[in-house]
Amino acid sequence: MSMATEIVQLLVQSAGTWLFEGTRSDLSDREWMALRFLALANRLSRTPTALAGFLGTTRGGASQITAALQEKGLVVRKPSADDKRSITLCLTAEGEKFLKQDPINALRDQIVALEGSDRSRLRDTLRRVLVGLDVAERRHHTDVCNQCVFLVENGEGKDRHFKCRLFRKSIAPTETSQLCTYFEGRS
Protein backbone atom coordinates (compact mmCIF):
# COMPACT_ATOMS: atom_id res chain seq x y z
CA MET A 1 0.00 0.00 0.00
CA SER A 2 1.39 3.40 -0.94
CA MET A 3 1.81 6.04 1.75
CA ALA A 4 -0.79 8.26 0.06
CA THR A 5 -3.33 5.41 0.12
CA GLU A 6 -2.50 4.71 3.77
CA ILE A 7 -3.04 8.38 4.69
CA VAL A 8 -6.39 8.42 2.88
CA GLN A 9 -7.44 5.27 4.75
CA LEU A 10 -6.44 6.86 8.07
CA LEU A 11 -8.51 9.95 7.23
CA VAL A 12 -11.47 7.74 6.33
CA GLN A 13 -11.11 5.83 9.60
CA SER A 14 -10.94 9.06 11.60
CA ALA A 15 -14.06 10.35 9.83
CA GLY A 16 -15.83 7.12 10.76
CA THR A 17 -15.58 8.08 14.42
CA TRP A 18 -17.80 11.13 13.97
CA LEU A 19 -19.68 10.76 10.68
CA PHE A 20 -22.98 8.91 10.41
CA GLU A 21 -24.01 9.90 13.91
CA GLY A 22 -27.61 10.74 12.91
CA THR A 23 -29.11 7.70 14.56
CA ARG A 24 -27.63 8.52 17.96
CA SER A 25 -28.26 12.26 17.98
CA ASP A 26 -31.27 12.74 15.71
CA LEU A 27 -29.18 14.98 13.42
CA SER A 28 -28.04 14.11 9.92
CA ASP A 29 -24.39 14.54 8.99
CA ARG A 30 -25.27 17.69 7.00
CA GLU A 31 -27.14 19.11 9.99
CA TRP A 32 -24.08 18.46 12.18
CA MET A 33 -21.87 20.15 9.57
CA ALA A 34 -24.19 23.16 9.47
CA LEU A 35 -24.34 23.40 13.26
CA ARG A 36 -20.54 23.19 13.54
CA PHE A 37 -20.09 25.78 10.79
CA LEU A 38 -22.51 28.25 12.40
CA ALA A 39 -20.65 27.88 15.71
CA LEU A 40 -17.31 28.72 14.05
CA ALA A 41 -18.29 31.25 11.37
CA ASN A 42 -17.95 35.01 11.63
CA ARG A 43 -21.15 37.07 11.40
CA LEU A 44 -20.64 37.83 7.69
CA SER A 45 -20.62 34.09 6.94
CA ARG A 46 -23.65 33.08 9.00
CA THR A 47 -26.04 33.53 6.08
CA PRO A 48 -28.07 30.96 4.14
CA THR A 49 -25.97 31.63 1.02
CA ALA A 50 -22.65 31.20 2.84
CA LEU A 51 -23.92 28.06 4.56
CA ALA A 52 -24.95 26.62 1.18
CA GLY A 53 -21.47 27.34 -0.19
CA PHE A 54 -19.80 25.71 2.79
CA LEU A 55 -22.00 22.62 2.60
CA GLY A 56 -21.64 22.39 -1.18
CA THR A 57 -25.40 22.46 -1.67
CA THR A 58 -28.00 24.80 -3.13
CA ARG A 59 -29.61 27.61 -1.16
CA GLY A 60 -32.77 25.48 -1.10
CA GLY A 61 -30.82 22.57 0.40
CA ALA A 62 -29.28 24.85 3.01
CA SER A 63 -32.74 26.24 3.74
CA GLN A 64 -34.09 22.73 4.38
CA ILE A 65 -31.18 21.97 6.71
CA THR A 66 -31.71 25.27 8.52
CA ALA A 67 -35.45 24.57 8.85
CA ALA A 68 -34.69 21.16 10.41
CA LEU A 69 -32.28 22.77 12.88
CA GLN A 70 -34.85 25.46 13.69
CA GLU A 71 -37.54 22.84 14.29
CA LYS A 72 -35.21 21.15 16.77
CA GLY A 73 -34.62 24.48 18.54
CA LEU A 74 -30.90 24.60 17.70
CA VAL A 75 -30.85 27.57 15.29
CA VAL A 76 -32.82 30.80 14.82
CA ARG A 77 -33.03 33.14 11.86
CA LYS A 78 -32.58 36.83 12.71
CA PRO A 79 -32.54 39.96 10.58
CA SER A 80 -28.93 40.95 9.91
CA ALA A 81 -27.60 43.81 12.01
CA ASP A 82 -25.66 44.99 8.92
CA ASP A 83 -28.44 44.73 6.31
CA LYS A 84 -32.06 44.36 7.42
CA ARG A 85 -32.93 42.66 4.09
CA SER A 86 -30.57 39.80 4.96
CA ILE A 87 -30.89 36.94 7.43
CA THR A 88 -28.28 35.85 9.96
CA LEU A 89 -28.36 32.27 11.24
CA CYS A 90 -27.60 32.04 14.95
CA LEU A 91 -27.20 29.14 17.33
CA THR A 92 -29.62 29.07 20.22
CA ALA A 93 -28.46 28.32 23.76
CA GLU A 94 -29.80 24.80 23.14
CA GLY A 95 -27.68 24.59 19.95
CA GLU A 96 -24.55 25.60 21.84
CA LYS A 97 -25.35 23.06 24.55
CA PHE A 98 -25.99 20.38 21.90
CA LEU A 99 -22.53 21.00 20.38
CA LYS A 100 -20.93 19.97 23.67
CA GLN A 101 -22.17 16.45 22.81
CA ASP A 102 -20.75 16.62 19.27
CA PRO A 103 -19.17 13.29 18.27
CA ILE A 104 -16.32 15.21 16.62
CA ASN A 105 -15.13 16.36 20.05
CA ALA A 106 -13.35 13.01 20.56
CA LEU A 107 -11.26 13.68 17.44
CA ARG A 108 -10.55 17.24 18.61
CA ASP A 109 -9.41 15.94 21.98
CA GLN A 110 -6.96 13.54 20.32
CA ILE A 111 -5.55 16.41 18.26
CA VAL A 112 -5.23 18.57 21.39
CA ALA A 113 -3.16 15.76 22.95
CA LEU A 114 -0.55 16.05 20.15
CA GLU A 115 2.63 18.08 20.60
CA GLY A 116 2.17 21.70 19.52
CA SER A 117 4.55 21.33 16.57
CA ASP A 118 2.70 18.19 15.39
CA ARG A 119 -0.65 20.03 15.61
CA SER A 120 0.74 22.94 13.57
CA ARG A 121 2.17 20.61 10.93
CA LEU A 122 -1.09 18.65 10.73
CA ARG A 123 -3.14 21.88 10.40
CA ASP A 124 -0.88 23.34 7.74
CA THR A 125 -0.72 20.10 5.76
CA LEU A 126 -4.48 19.56 5.85
CA ARG A 127 -5.02 23.19 4.84
CA ARG A 128 -2.80 22.69 1.76
CA VAL A 129 -4.65 19.48 0.86
CA LEU A 130 -8.05 21.15 1.21
CA VAL A 131 -6.99 24.17 -0.84
CA GLY A 132 -5.79 21.80 -3.55
CA LEU A 133 -9.10 19.94 -3.50
CA ASP A 134 -11.06 23.19 -3.65
CA VAL A 135 -9.00 24.39 -6.62
CA ALA A 136 -9.40 21.06 -8.44
CA GLU A 137 -13.18 21.11 -7.88
CA ARG A 138 -13.42 24.87 -8.54
CA ARG A 139 -14.98 25.38 -5.12
CA HIS A 140 -14.50 28.46 -3.03
CA HIS A 141 -12.25 27.81 -0.03
CA THR A 142 -13.46 28.58 3.50
CA ASP A 143 -10.80 29.44 6.06
CA VAL A 144 -9.96 31.56 9.09
CA CYS A 145 -10.54 35.29 8.69
CA ASN A 146 -7.11 36.35 10.01
CA GLN A 147 -5.43 34.57 7.08
CA CYS A 148 -7.52 36.44 4.46
CA VAL A 149 -6.21 39.05 2.07
CA PHE A 150 -9.33 41.18 2.67
CA LEU A 151 -8.65 41.65 6.39
CA VAL A 152 -7.04 44.97 7.26
CA GLU A 153 -5.65 45.72 10.70
CA ASN A 154 -5.13 49.27 11.91
CA GLY A 155 -3.81 50.70 15.15
CA GLU A 156 -2.19 49.07 18.15
CA GLY A 157 -3.23 48.03 21.64
CA LYS A 158 -6.67 49.34 22.62
CA ASP A 159 -6.83 51.36 19.37
CA ARG A 160 -6.41 48.18 17.27
CA HIS A 161 -9.32 47.48 14.94
CA PHE A 162 -10.06 45.28 11.94
CA LYS A 163 -11.99 45.77 8.74
CA CYS A 164 -13.05 43.48 5.90
CA ARG A 165 -12.21 45.22 2.62
CA LEU A 166 -14.57 42.93 0.69
CA PHE A 167 -17.65 43.88 2.72
CA ARG A 168 -16.31 47.26 3.86
CA LYS A 169 -17.37 46.40 7.39
CA SER A 170 -15.66 46.40 10.77
CA ILE A 171 -14.69 43.01 12.13
CA ALA A 172 -14.56 42.34 15.87
CA PRO A 173 -11.18 41.00 17.07
CA THR A 174 -12.87 37.72 18.09
CA GLU A 175 -14.25 37.28 14.55
CA THR A 176 -10.75 37.28 13.05
CA SER A 177 -10.22 33.75 14.39
CA GLN A 178 -13.53 32.50 12.97
CA LEU A 179 -14.37 30.96 9.58
CA CYS A 180 -15.18 33.07 6.55
CA THR A 181 -16.73 31.64 3.39
CA TYR A 182 -15.57 34.65 1.36
CA PHE A 183 -11.95 33.85 2.16
CA GLU A 184 -9.13 34.68 -0.26
CA GLY A 185 -5.71 33.48 0.85
CA ARG A 186 -2.65 35.68 1.02
CA SER A 187 -0.07 34.68 -1.57
DSSP string, 90-134: EE-HHHHHHHTT-TTHHHHHHHHTS-HHHHHHHHHHHHHHHHHHH
pTM of the predicted model as reported, rounded to 2 decimal places: 0.79
Q: Is residue 177 part of a domain?
A: no
Q: Is residue 66 part of a domain?
A: yes
Q: Is residue 52 part of a domain?
A: yes
Q: Is residue 150 part of a domain?
A: no
Domain that includes residue 29, residue range: 1-113
Question: Given this model, what pLDDT does residue 47 score?
Answer: 92
Higher pLDDT, 2 or 17: 2
**37-58 average pLDDT score:** 91
User: pLDDT above 70 covers what percent of the chain?
Assistant: 92
Q: Is residue 181 part of a domain?
A: no
Q: Per-residue pLDDT tens for 112-157?
A: 999 989 999 998 898 888 888 876 666 667 888 888 889 998 888 8
Q: Is residue 69 part of a domain?
A: yes
Number of domains in the chain: 1
For the domain that residue 19 is a member of, what is the CATH number?
A: 1.10.10.10
Banded model confidence at residue 85, pLDDT cuts 50, 70, 90? confident
